[in-house]
């Protein structure tokens, strides 16, 4: 894939992996837009990184998506690559958490991590199908294959995103639209603050994604996730134990 010819939209692109991807793809020559809900971060992007188009959209609000797509077309143009990166994670032990809090948090996680990705993909698919070369990139996780005990809803959304990507890849096999799943290990972001050791940097993930996109990979396992992939294939029980309390 010639990244210099791509027009990329990245959800959740104001920090963490999303921001690192925006920088890396822009450096590779792509035109890049990001969307996020944090107005201060969007203003910072417009000031410090004006080469990246910063657009407001709260993916937790389903009524915003159609209007956002219209603004995207007007302010940025029709994308040729969609990177579904936005995600939330709440670490809730259901037996110890207020049921209504579990309901509210789970609804938000499903909405941001999964439903918005499916809906935005559907809304932008006509743009992608019209492009000479296009891609839908899904930021997954090792917990899509071996769930984490303290994050059942997050794990479920990533497993569903993996399944969605596989099925959509079947449907788009005869088109010019690639479906790419990215599986990073534990990454040093705000979401993982206080958890785990030897975390990978967002810039390292972004570099691996850019390389994988350029070389035509459909599944990009990054860093320790590459080892996890083989452990999961050969000894799924061991893989499950490694991730369960990570």
CA torsion 28-33-38-44 (nearest 10°) is 60
E-strand ranges in 85-145 read: 134-139
**Is residue 154 annotated as a catalytic residue, yes or no?**
yes
Q: Which uninterrupted H or E stretch holds 179?
A: strand 177-183
Sheet containing 52-56: order of strands: 52-56, 31-36, 7-11, 81-84, 134-139, 177-183, 219-221
Q: What is the end-to-end Cα distance of the chain in Å, rounded?
A: 35
State which H helix or E strand residue 207 sits in: helix 202-215
The structure tokens listed for 173 are 């096999």
Task: Give the Cα-Cα-Cα angle 220, 52, 28 (nearest 5 degrees).
Answer: 45
Report the distance separating Cα 214 and Cα 56, nearest Å.
Answer: 28
Kindly name the residue from 145, 154, 221, 228 that is annotated as catalytic.
Answer: 154
Output the CA angle 171-144-9, nearest 5 degrees.
60
User: How far, in Å, CA of 124 to CA of 136, rounded?
Assistant: 10
- Which positions are catalytic? 154
């Amino acid at each position: 894939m010639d990244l210099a010819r791509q027009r990329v939209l990245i959800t959740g692109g104001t920090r963490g992996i999303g921001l690192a991807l925006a920088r890396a793809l822009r450096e590779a020559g792509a035109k890049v837009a990001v969307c996020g809900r944090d107005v201060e971060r969007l203003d910072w992007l417009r000031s410090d990184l004006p080469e990246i188009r910063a657009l407001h959209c709260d993916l937790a609000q389903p009524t915003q998506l159609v209007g956002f797509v219209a603004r995207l077309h007007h302010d940025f143009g029709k994308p040729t690559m969609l990177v579904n990166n936005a995600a939330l994670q709440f670490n809730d032990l259901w037996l110890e958490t207020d049921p209504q809090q579990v309901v509210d948090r789970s609804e938000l996680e499903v909405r941001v991590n999964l439903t918005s990705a499916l809906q935005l993909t559907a809304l932008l698919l006509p743009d992608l199908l019209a492009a000479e070369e296009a891609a839908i990139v899904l930021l997954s996780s090792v917990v899509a294959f071996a769930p984490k005990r303290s994050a059942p809803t997050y794990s479920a959304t990533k497993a569903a995103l993996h399944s969605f990507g596989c099925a959509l890849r079947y449907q788009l096999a005869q088109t010019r639209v690639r479906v790419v799943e990215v599986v990073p290990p534990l990454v040093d972001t705000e979401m993982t603050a206080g958890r785990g050791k030897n975390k990978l940097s967002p810039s390292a993930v972004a570099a691996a994604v850019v390389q994988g996109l350029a070389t035509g990979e459909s599944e990009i396992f990054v860093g320790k996730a590459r080892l996890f992939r083989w452990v999961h294939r050969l000894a799924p029980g061991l893989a499950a134990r490694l991730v369960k309390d990570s």
